[in-house]
C-alpha cells in the first residue's frame, strides 16, 4: 500500500513558524516583520545564529524564539559571557574533571554537554576573553569539547546561538575578537531593531507587558490614548527593557489610575514621584476652595476664616481619589507649613507665632526642634 506523504511544503512550514513567532514577539512594524522572517529561516536549520542589537532590545527573546521554533527537543541553556569571571567561564562552558584545579572535588559537566540535543545561548559573546575564543572556535568546528583538566574528546550535538551589543567587526579590527571566530558565527546575523526604530509596535508591546505583570488587575493603571502617544514619542535609549520598567513603575505609582501624557513625561520617564506638595494640593482641591483666601484683606481674614478652612469630614473624599494616605506624614507637613507661615508673619518672633497657632511657647519650640525649623533670632 502506498503511503501518502503528508509533510508540509517549505512555504507552509515557514508560515507555521511565523504564526508561532507572532505569539512570542509583539509587533507588526516592517522592521519586526523582517526580523521574524530571519528567525523563521534560521530556526529550520542547525546553523549558528548571531543576534545583534542594542542593550535591552530583547536579544534573549529572539534566542528563545529560535529554539522554540526549531526541531530541537533538548533544553535551552543561557550563559552570559560578561557576567562570569574569565577564570571561571571556561569551566562553566566546558566542564571540568575531578582535581582539575583547587576546589574541583568532583567531575562536572559544562553547559555544552548540558545543552545536548537543544540550544546553547552565549549572550554577550563580544566580552568573551581571547584565549577562550580559540577553544570555542575548535568546539564549533570539530563538534567536540574537552573538559578542563581532561584529554578526552566529547561529542556535542546542539545549536549555538550567540548575541552581543558590541560592534564585533570593530573589535576584530582592534584585535579584541578573533576574525576566524567572527566569520564562523556570522552565518546569518539577525539584527534586533531598537524600540525607536519600531515605534508603531509600542502600543501592542505596552498591552503585552502590562498583562504579563503579576499585579492584581484592579491595580493596573489605565493608559489613555494620550499616554500611549507620549510613549510612542519617547526615544527609549533603554529599549524594551526601559518600556517594561516604565510600565511596572506606573503600577507602583499610579495603581488603578488613569494615566495622561503628563504622567508619562513628568512621573514615569523622568522618575519624578508625586511630591507631598502635589498630594496636599490635590487634597485641598478636594476639600475646599481656598483660592479666595489670597484675595482677602488681612484685617478681614480672621473674620472669614471658618468659611474657607476645610471641614474635617471632607477628608473622607480623599479615598475617592487615592487608595491610601500617610496620615502621620500629612499632618506633620501641615504643621510645618503653618509653623513656618506663622513665624514669617511675626518676623520670626516665636512668642507671637505661638499665639497665632494657639500653642504654648515651649510647645512651639519643641515642634521647631523636631522639624528642624530654624529662625535667625533669639528664641524668647
Reported as a single tens digit per residue, the pLDDT across 87-106 is: 899 999 999 998 888 888 89
- Looking at the structure of the chain, the number of domains it has is 3
47 and 184 share one domain: yes
29 and 136 share one domain: yes
Residue 73 sits in a domain whose CATH number is 3.40.50.300
Q: Which residues pair with 96 in a beta bridge?
A: 108, 148
Residue 261 sits in a domain whose CATH number is 1.10.8.60
Position 115 scores a pLDDT of: 94
Q: Which pLDDT band, with edges at 50, 70 and 90, does 310 fall under?
A: low
Does 119 reside within a domain? yes
Angle at 178 between CA 108 and CA 137, to 5 degrees: 40
Residue 294 pLDDT greater than 60, yes or no: no
> Which helix (H) or strand (E) is 189 found in, with range?
strand 188-191
Does 380 reside within a domain? no
Residue 300 sits in a domain whose CATH number is 1.10.10
42 and 137 share one domain: yes
Position 161 scores a pLDDT of: 97
55 and 30 share one domain: yes
Contact 229, 202 (CB under 8 A): no
Q: Which pLDDT band, with edges at 50, 70 and 90, does 380 fall under?
A: low
319 and 181 share one domain: no
3-state DSSP assignment of residue 100: coil
Does 155 reside within a domain? yes
Query: End of a domain among 269, 296, 315?
Result: 269
231 and 186 share one domain: no
227 and 300 share one domain: no
Position 18 scores a pLDDT of: 86
Whole-number Å distance between alpha carbons of 28 and 99: 53
| Averaged confidence pLDDT in the chain | 83
70 and 128 share one domain: yes
209 and 304 share one domain: no
Residue 40 pLDDT greater than 80, yes or no: yes
More confident residue, 95 or 334: 95
66 and 33 share one domain: yes
Q: Which pLDDT band, with edges at 50, 70 and 90, does 9 fall under?
A: low
180 and 211 share one domain: no
214 and 316 share one domain: no
pTM: 0.67
Q: What is the mean pLDDT of residues 344-363?
A: 89
Does 376 reside within a domain? no
Of 270-274, 290-294, 353-357, give the range with the top mean pLDDT.
353-357
Position 289 scores a pLDDT of: 41
Long-range contacts of residues 245-249, Cβ cutoff 8 Å, at least 24 apart:
247/206, 247/209, 247/210, 247/213, 248/213
Mean pLDDT lowest for which of 69-73, 217-221, 325-329? 325-329
Does 274 reside within a domain? no
> Which helix (H) or strand (E) is 80 found in, with range?
strand 76-80
Position 5 scores a pLDDT of: 42
Query: End of a domain among 193, 223, 251?
Result: 193
Residue 303 pLDDT greater than 80, yes or no: no
Residue 351 sits in which domain range? 280-370
Mean pLDDT lowest for which of 89-93, 98-102, 185-189, 243-247? 98-102
Contact 281, 310 (CB under 8 A): no
Does 82 reside within a domain? yes
Does 34 reside within a domain? yes
Contact 339, 357 (CB under 8 A): yes
Query: End of a domain among 193, 223, 245?
Result: 193
Residue percentage of the chain with pLDDT more than 70? 80
Q: Which pLDDT band, with edges at 50, 70 and 90, does 311 fall under?
A: low
Does 351 reside within a domain? yes
Amino acid at each position: 500500500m502506498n503511503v501518502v506523504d503528508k509533510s508540509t511544503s517549505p512555504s507552509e512550514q515557514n508560515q507555521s513558524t511565523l504564526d508561532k513567532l507572532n505569539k512570542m514577539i509583539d509587533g507588526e512594524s516592517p522592521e519586526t516583520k523582517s526580523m521574524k522572517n530571519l528567525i523563521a529561516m534560521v530556526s529550520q536549520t542547525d546553523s549558528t545564529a548571531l543576534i545583534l542589537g542594542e542593550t535591552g532590545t530583547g536579544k534573549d527573546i529572539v534566542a528563545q524564539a529560535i529554539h522554540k521554533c526549531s526541531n530541537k527537543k533538548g533544553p535551552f541553556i543561557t550563559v552570559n559571557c560578561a557576567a562570569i569571571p574569565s577564570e571561571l567561564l571556561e569551566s562553566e562552558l566546558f566542564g571540568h574533571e575531578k582535581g582539575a584545579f583547587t576546589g574541583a572535588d568532583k567531575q562536572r559537566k559544562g553547559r555544552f554537554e548540558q545543552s545536548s540535543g537543544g540550544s546553547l545561548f552565549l549572550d554577550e559573546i563580544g566580552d568573551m576573553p581571547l584565549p577562550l575564543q580559540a577553544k570555542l572556535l575548535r568546539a564549533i568546528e570539530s563538534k567536540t569539547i574537552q573538559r578542563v583538566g581532561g584529554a578526552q574528546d566529547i561529542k556535542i550535538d546542539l545549536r549555538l546561538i550567540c548575541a552581543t551589543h558590541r560592534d564585533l567587526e570593530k573589535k576584530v579590527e582592534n584585535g579584541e575578537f578573533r576574525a576566524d571566530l567572527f566569520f564562523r558565527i556570522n552565518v546569518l546575523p539577525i539584527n534586533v531593531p531598537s524600540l525607536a526604530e519600531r515605534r508603531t509596535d509600542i502600543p501592542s508591546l505596552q498591552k503585552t507587558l502590562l498583562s504579563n505583570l503579576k499585579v492584581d488587575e484592579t491595580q493596573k493603571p489605565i493608559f489613555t490614548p494620550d499616554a500611549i502617544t507620549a510613549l510612542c514619542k519617547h526615544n527609549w535609549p533603554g529599549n524594551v527593557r526601559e518600556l517594561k520598567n516604565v510600565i511596572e513603575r506606573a503600577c507602583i505609582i499610579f495603581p488603578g489610575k488613569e494615566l495622561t501624557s503628563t504622567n508619562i513625561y513628568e512621573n514615569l520617564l523622568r522618575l519624578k514621584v508625586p511630591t507631598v506638595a502635589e498630594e496636599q494640593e490635590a487634597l485641598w482641591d478636594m476639600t475646599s476652595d481656598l483660592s479666595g483666601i489670597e484675595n482677602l484683606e488681612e484685617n478681614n481674614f480672621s473674620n472669614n476664616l471658618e468659611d474657607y478652612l476645610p471641614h474635617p469630614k471632607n477628608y473622607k473624599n480623599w479615598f475617592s481619589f487615592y487608595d491610601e494616605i500617610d496620615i502621620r506624614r500629612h499632618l506633620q507637613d501641615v504643621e510645618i507649613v503653618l509653623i513656618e507661615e506663622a513665624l514669617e508673619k511675626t518676623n520670626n518672633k516665636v512668642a507671637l507665632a505661638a499665639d497665632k497657632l494657639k500653642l504654648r511657647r515651649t510647645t512651639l519650640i519643641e515642634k521647631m526642634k523636631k522639624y528642624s525649623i530654624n529662625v535667625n533670632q533669639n528664641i524668647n
